[in-house]
Amino acid sequence: MFNNLSDKLDKALHVLKGHGSITEVNVAETLKEVRRALLDADVNFKTAKEFTVRVKEKALGQDVLTTLQPGQLMVKLVKDELTELMGGDAEGINLSGNPSVILMSGLQGSGKTTFSGKLANYLKNKKTKKPLLVACDVYRPAAIDQLHVVGEQIGVEVFSDRGNNDPVAISQAGIAHAKANGYNVVIIDTAGRLAVDEAMMTEISNIHKAIQPQETLFVVDSMTGQDAVNTAKAFNDILNFDGVILTKLDGDTRGGAAISIKSVVNKPIKFIGTGEKMEAIDVFYPSRMADRILG
Ligand code: GDP
């Protein structure tokens, strides 16, 4: 994960490690390399620029020029700033409703159905939660089948209505089914298109308005870099979602989406997907991710 970025940042900061004392020019050169590494990792231009400006201010404010180990201090400052950029403290999901309704949004192929299953499994293992999955993709019968397969795999019931082509009605019926049968979490998997289009946005917005979920999650493939950030913006404008799920972090991801998304849409990344299996789900901890990036 993020190997390229880690190597480049390490190289950029390593230059300072050998120095007992450094100059403002050394700091500026190092931060230029840091910025280049972030841009190469597909971090949004504005985010990368602001990042280095903030680190520079802190470095000069904290007397990095006279400290005994300037290299170490710079690594710490960069790590702290990365943590802040990715969201500061980890944020959980709101499960206060009875049932708590969680709406999944995102493009087709982003990993919504897989993540719906992972989240249901994760919550089911918490013992106090009894989740129900609801299949609301009325365009692709295969998507409904896929959710049933996932449900069977993890032992969670899937509510679907194949004859119905109204996703709002299906989601409402799913919630009613949950209430009648003692489910305390409802996870609604919706249809996604290959690109943001008006019809999809209207549909998800209608579902959102009708069911008023406790939690709306936006699922995005981290491998898509800046496209992930742009798609997040488009969905956030319509849904004002509560959190982001970054999938496929096990792939050859450059890191741009993970690093930029919070600062662009101002919503936390809540979970990450790290594989195709149902167990490949992790709570997103910005500080742990920053540790991983900086080694
Ligand atoms: P949806 O169209 O948004 O519902 O996406 P799917 O859940 O069908 O996922 C699309 C593809 O991505 C499937 O082949 C999944 O197995 C795969 N996938 C989903 N999440 C992950 C992940 O975290 N890591 C990897 N490697 N593959 C994933």
Look up residue 224 and give its DSSP letter: G
Residues tagged in the binding site annotation for GTP: 106-113, 189-193, 247-250
For the stretch 18-29, pLDDT in tens is: 766 778 888 899
Kindly report the backbone phi and psi dihedral angles of residue 66, in degrees, each rounded to the nearest multiple of 5, phi listed first: -110, -5
Would you state the pLDDT for residue 69?
80
Would you state the pLDDT for residue 73?
86
Measure 248 CA to ligand 1 centroid, in angstroms.
Answer: 7
For the stretch 94-133, pLDDT in tens is: 999 999 999 999 999 999 999 999 999 999 998 889 999 9
Helix axes 24-40, 3-17, angle to 10 degrees: 170
Measure 163 CA to ligand 1 centroid, in angstroms.
Answer: 26
How far apart (Å, rounded) are the C-alpha atoms in residues 111 and 221?
7
- Residue 285 pLDDT exceeds 90: yes
- Bridge-based pairing of strands 215-221 and 243-247 is parallel
Given 3-state DSSP classes, what are the helix, strand and coil percentages for the chain, each rounded to the nearest 5? 55, 15, 35
For the stretch 135-188, pLDDT in tens is: 999 998 899 999 999 999 999 999 999 989 999 999 999 999 999 999 999 999
- As to burial, measured by CB atoms within 10 angstroms (0-12 exposed, 13-18 middle, 19+ buried), residue 187 is buried
Counting residues of the chain whose pLDDT is more than 90, the rounded percentage is 75
Is the entire prediction scored with pTM above 0.80?
yes
92 pocket-lining for ligand 1 (C-beta < 6 Å)? no
Quote ipTM for the complex. 0.99
